[in-house]
């Protein structure tokens, strides 16, 4: 990886991690457009720089992370389903990470769903994440399992899960942000362990690349989170739905025409 690729991927991660457009899907597309070979380190990088993005959540909601022990228990309950399925389906998920066509299909279908989300969930009762019950947290966590498929969007799935439990858009988005912390820490830890088993410790240059990627993702995510909350509260999901349909449709069309952009 060269430094331009590092910065581009980190910007993509920071912008898309908390938007319902699939950060993983966009990372796969970006690596394809830049003609990058999908090595073990590239796979590690695309997961590990998510730590930079979720660090932005901890900074922005710093006080929230130290208010209540129940807060952590609820996040743990919501985290359990994806943790179990992530371990059981690890090899399948890794194979899907190399399928831009799969990403395109997931983006397209998810986009159609997002066009109607605002009409489906109109009964908003829970305005604070403090009021989420353990059962509601578990149900939101089950929605997160769907996002193990690249292109679905972890934030999108969990926000929809929150809306299904009668959270407001803002509360659903914030719970999704909080849930990203244990989920991404666990995913990065597993990916680091897998990388170590097959390749040993990352080199000093690889560590430098990971550090740069996380710093850039952190800075970009700080801006993206605030803008997303404001936009989602006022305008809902429809624009994200059309964006997903357009991007997913282009990818599917390229494959249908037999056009492959480098690894795409």
DSSP 76-109: HHHHHHHHHHHHHTHHHHHHHTT-HHHHHHHHHH
Q: pLDDT-based confidence at 215, cuts 50/70/90?
A: very high
Structure tokens at 210: 């990971």
- What is the share, in percent, of the chain residues with pLDDT greater than 90? 17
What is the per-residue pLDDT for 213? 92
Q: For 120-137, what is the mean pLDDT? A: 82
pLDDT at residue number 85: 82
Q: Predicted confidence band at 242 (pLDDT cuts at 50, 70, 90)?
A: very high
Return the pLDDT at 144.
Answer: 86
pLDDT at 264: 40
Structure tokens at 170: 């803002």
Burial of 52 (0-12, 13-18, 19+ CB in 10 A): buried
Residues 6+ apart with CB under 8 A from 175: 78, 129, 132, 137, 140, 158, 162, 167
pLDDT in tens, 3-25: 899 999 999 998 888 888 888 77
Answering whether pTM is above 0.75, one says yes
Both tokens assigned to 242: 């059309």
Closest CA to 28 of 36, 18, 20: 36
Q: For residue 13, which phi and psi values (nearest 5 degrees)?
A: -60, -50
Who has greater pLDDT, 36 or 172? 172
Q: What is the pLDDT of residues 33-66, one digit of tens each?
A: 887 777 888 888 888 888 898 889 888 888 877 7
Q: Is the pLDDT of residue 263 over 70?
A: no
Instruction: Pick the more confident residue, 87 or 208.
Output: 208
**Is the separation of the CB atoms in 113 and 241 below 8 Å?**
yes
Proportion of the chain above pLDDT 70, given as a percent: 92
pLDDT at 137: 92
Rounded CA-CA distance 176/144 in Å is 9
**Among positive and negative, which fits the CA dihedral 31, 220, 93, 40?**
positive
- Residues whose CB falls within 8 Å of the CB of residue 141, separated by 6 or more in sequence, listed in order: 77, 78, 79, 80, 81, 82, 158, 161, 179
Q: Which residue from 60, 32, 58 is spatially nearest to 46, judged by alpha carbons?
A: 32
* Residue 86, pLDDT score: 74
Question: pLDDT at residue 91 above 70?
Answer: no
Q: Which uninterrupted H or E stretch holds 138?
A: helix 134-146
Residue 199 has pLDDT above 80, yes or no: yes
Q: Which of 221, 213, 205 is nearest to 188 (CA)?
A: 213
Report phi then psi at 260, rounded to 5.
-125, 125
Rounded mean pLDDT of the chain?
Answer: 83
Q: What is the pLDDT of residue 92?
A: 63
């Amino acid at each position: 990886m060269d430094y331009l690729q590092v910065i581009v991927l980190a910007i993509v991660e920071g912008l898309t991690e908390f938007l319902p457009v699939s950060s993983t899907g966009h990372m796969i597309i970006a690596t394809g457009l830049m003609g990058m070979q999908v090595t073990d380190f590239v796979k590690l990088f695309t997961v590990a720089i998510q730590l930079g993005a979720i660090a932005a959540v901890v900074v922005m909601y710093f006080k929230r992370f130290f208010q209540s022990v129940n807060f952590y228990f609820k996040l743990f309950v919501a985290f359990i389903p994806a943790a179990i399925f992530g371990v059981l389906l690890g090899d399948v998920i890794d194979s899907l990470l190399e399928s831009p066509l799969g990403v395109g299909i997931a983006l397209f279908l998810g986009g159609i769903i997002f066009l109607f989300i605002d009409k489906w969930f109109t009964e908003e009762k829970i305005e604070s994440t403090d009021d989420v019950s353990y059962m509601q947290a578990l149900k939101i966590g089950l929605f997160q399992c769907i996002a193990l498929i690249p292109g679905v969007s972890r934030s999108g799935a969990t926000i929809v899960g929150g809306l299904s439990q009668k959270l407001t858009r803002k509360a659903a988005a914030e719970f999704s942000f909080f849930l990203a912390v244990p989920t991404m820490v666990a995913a990065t830890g597993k990916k680091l362990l897998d990388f170590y088993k097959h390749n040993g410790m990352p080199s000093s240059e690889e560590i430098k690349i990971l550090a740069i990627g996380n710093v850039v993702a952190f800075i970009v995510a700080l801006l993206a989170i605030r803008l997303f909350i404001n936009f989602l509260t006022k305008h809902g999901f429809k624009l994200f739905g059309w964006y997903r349909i357009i991007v997913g449709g282009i990818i599917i069309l390229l494959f249908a025409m037999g056009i492959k952009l480098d690894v795409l």
